[in-house]
Amino acid sequence: MSGLILPTDQRVTQDFLANLIGSRWEAERATLQPPTPMQPRPHTEVSEAPVMGSSQIAGSVMLHSQLEDFSPEAFALDEREQEKKCTTKVGNVTLSLVPSKRPNALLRLPTELTAMIFELAQDQSPFGHGRFSSKRYYTEAAVSQVCRQWRAISIDRRPLWTTFFHRDNRPSVDRPETILHRLHTYIQRAAPREVDLYAVTGDPKLAALLIDEFTRYATRWRRVIIQIPTGAEACLAHLSEVKFSAMERLDVFIPHCTNMGPYSAPANSFTAPKLKCVEMDCAAFKLCKPPLSTVTILYLESLSVDELPTSATPVLDLSEFMEVVKSAVSLKSLTVVGSCVSGELFGDPPGTVLTNIEELICSSEFVATNFWSKLYAPRLAKVELIGVELFAIIPDGDTSYSSDNLPALTNVKFNNVVVTETWMKRLALNAKNVTHIELENEDMSEDLWIGLDHRVLNPLDALAECDATSGPGRYMWPKLTSIFARIEPFGTPQWEAYAPLLKQRKGCQLLLPEHHVQLWKEEDGENWKELEEMGRVAGVVYDEAE
């Protein structure tokens, strides 16, 4: 392996393999010696030559052409040029592929090293991007680009065949049997290892075939992402009878499923003792009924906001949602997207349910309005609310909203959220130890009203108004130390409201994007300077990509 330096970067592209394979020919060519002067050859009787295939003829013609044009000077010049070309750069890694003087040098690479090259050359797994992955992951296409010996090595390398990928958006797929043949090939070549299954299809017939194979090889799956079209729901009905002994992740989605039709939730869940992550829309969640006792990450998604729910719409009512949280005893992260939970907004809260979740990401107005007083979450440390309008009414004499249900909650993020003062007070009563809040609001009107007495504000404005009406020592979230705010529009009304809040709160700092800092300095430099000297304001570089 003289002259071969392998990269350590995991992001190795197919260009690396192309250069590596191309150097094999250069290594063989480097061993050729200049021909001796041609001598007259005695006439011999020509025997009938065997018939050569087209590839043999092409190779023979190329080799004779190279030999006829050969000269020592050209050889030395060509060798120097090839050495320059054999240094390339992939990402931040420089690859040196200077040909060896020994013939067939690359064919002498250890099998383990050759297999490792293939593993490094593969794209990142599509499972890092969920069902929206733009990565295509076809191992058989990659190994078909190389020589027969390398292909044989790759076929025997089990880790190369542990991720099956198929994605199409067509309502009808030609020759679905070829897709099933690919799936069987991966299962056989990866054995006895588990396989990751990534299958997104718009063809109901292909979806049914893939689900059949999914249940047939139930013990072989590790991570699974399946998206099937509306009309293929029936194929999920038999999952409750299956045991997935090695499955760690299961994502199932049925886009645009607005009606459950005749299908109902199974009586029992399927068996998956190692299941840790579940991501589903409400229709798939009801039809699959995954076991939740070992799940640590749960993602629930519902219809888009412009689709009105009906009696057959796949949503969870409040009692079902509470049962889900209660049964997921190992749950650490809960994400609720859209209107997947419904019920009476201000009904009597049920008995308190204990949950061990540590993170809540929520764009459901129903959950964000009712969550705080209905669950006791002693480990919940971070909450992110996205795109919701939150208001709450605390009935006179009702003490169920004043208990400290969220003692560990320290970090709250509001992303395009508007609230009422009442809702903020209700959250503060249930979470008294918040130390950091973050706001990202764009073009949220300050003149929205709910009823006659409930003005809707961005959360920081609501906090400022609450402080203005509260006496010293009665501020909401007295332990608050930092506020990051990116609010549009940002102007005089904002800093006139925020300045008193910051002056009254000891140890609380407001962090603003640099362009807001410059605007404040230009319009009210004296006030900014006073707050800056007190350590109450600072500018930060805001990355739009984040």
Residue 98 has pLDDT above 50, yes or no: no
- Looking at residue 233, what is its pLDDT? 84
3-state secondary structure 329-354: CCCCEEEEECCCEECCCCCCCCCCEE
Residue 399 or residue 251, greater confidence? 251
Least-confidence region, from 79-88, 220-229, 520-529: 79-88
pTM of the predicted model as reported, rounded to 2 decimal places: 0.74
234 DSSP 8-state letter: G
396 DSSP 8-state letter: T
- Looking at residue 7, what is its pLDDT? 45
Q: Which residues are within 8 A (CB) of 57 and not within 5 positions of it... i.e. 6 or more apart?
A: none
User: Coil, strand or helix: which one is 455?
Assistant: strand
Least-confidence region, from 204-218, 258-272, 473-487, 501-515: 258-272
Q: CA 500, CA 510: separation in Å to the nearest integer?
A: 12
3-state secondary structure 415-436: ECCEECHHHHHHHHHHCCCCCE
- Looking at residue 372, what is its pLDDT? 74
Task: Please answer whether residues 495 and 530 qualify as being in contact, where contact means their C-beta atoms are separated by less than 8 angstroms.
Answer: no
Q: Which residues are within 8 A (CB) of 291 and not within 5 positions of it... i.e. 6 or more apart?
A: 269, 270, 271, 272, 275
42, amino acid identity: P
Q: CA 461, CA 469: separation in Å to the nearest integer?
A: 13
- Looking at residue 196, what is its pLDDT? 94
Residue 450 has pLDDT above 90, yes or no: no
Least-confidence region, from 19-33, 219-233, 316-330: 19-33
Residue 289 has pLDDT above 60, yes or no: yes
192: cis peptide before it, omega within 30°?
A: yes
To which H or E segment does residue 207 belong?
A: helix 204-216
Beta strand 93-96 pairing with 87-90:
antiparallel
Task: Please answer whether residues 363 and 385 qualify as being in contact, where contact means their C-beta atoms are separated by less than 8 angstroms.
Answer: yes
- Looking at residue 391, what is its pLDDT? 72
**Mind giving me the DSSP string for 459-519?**
HHHHHHHHHHHSPTT--SSTT--EEEEEEES-SHHHHHHHHHHHHHSTT-EEEEEHHHHHH
**Mind giving me the DSSP string for 55-83?**
HHHHHHHHHHHHHHT--HHHHHHHHHHHH
- Looking at residue 48, what is its pLDDT? 41
Find the distance separating the first CA and the last CA of the chain, reported in whole Å. Answer: 44
- Looking at residue 423, what is its pLDDT? 84
Tens digits of per-residue pLDDT, 228-269? 998 888 888 778 889 999 999 999 999 877 766 555 667 788
Residue 31 or residue 435, greater confidence? 435
Tokens 């009904």 found at: 347
- Looking at residue 57, what is its pLDDT? 41
- Looking at residue 130, what is its pLDDT? 65
**Mind giving me the DSSP string for 103-169?**
TTTGGGS-HHHHHHHHHHHSPPPGGGGGGG------HHHHHTTS-HHHHHHHHH-GGGGSEEEEE--
Residue 458 or residue 345, greater confidence? 458
Residue 445 has pLDDT above 70, yes or no: no
The mean pLDDT of the chain is 75
Q: CA 391, CA 423: separation in Å to the nearest integer?
A: 5
Least-confidence region, from 125-134, 196-205, 250-259: 125-134
What mean pLDDT do residues 457-465 have?
88
Least-confidence region, from 109-118, 247-256, 264-273, 495-504: 109-118
Residue 141 has pLDDT above 90, yes or no: no
Q: How confident is the model at residue 352 (pLDDT cuts 50, 70, 90)?
A: confident
Tens digits of per-residue pLDDT, 292-328? 999 999 999 985 544 555 555 678 887 888 889 989 9
Nearest to 341 by CA among 308, 307, 314: 314
Residue 37 has pLDDT above 80, yes or no: no
Positive or negative: CA dihedral 479, 481, 484, 490? positive
